[in-house]
Structure 1
Amino acid sequence: MSENPQRQDAPPQPAPPVAFSPEDMARRRRRSIALALVLAGLVLFFFVVTLAKTGPAILNRPL
């Protein structure tokens, strides 16, 4: 039996990563900023809705 360093049922080696062009990096950055703004808007929306649902009496509770 010959010594084979790679088994027959082993998955193939992945290709090396491809370097992104400056245009791709700029596009990715704009997309990330847009996603961050949408997420921040959603957080702010939920915060405002939570404050509106609790009402002004939330500040007049006993500690």
Structure 2
Amino acid sequence: MARIRLVSWNPNEAREGAERLGSSGDTVEFEPFERETMKKIREEPPDAIVIDLGRIPTQ
């Protein structure tokens, strides 16, 4: 199965999204959208990256 990394600014929505993606049997990890996450992705690249762009807070 694939290892998928879900990146989202909202941890609650990320948890729900990870459950939906993982229902197919893939391993899904979720992280907040921040610099440290991008570093982890470079160090341990997943098979796929899903970035949740829904309802990003504006500044």
Q: Which has the higher contact order (CA 8 A, sep 6+)?
A: 2
**Structure showing greater Rg:** 1
Please identify which structure carries the higher strand content.
Answer: 2
TM-score (norm 2): 0.26
Please identify which structure carries the higher helix content.
Answer: 1
TM-score (norm 1): 0.24
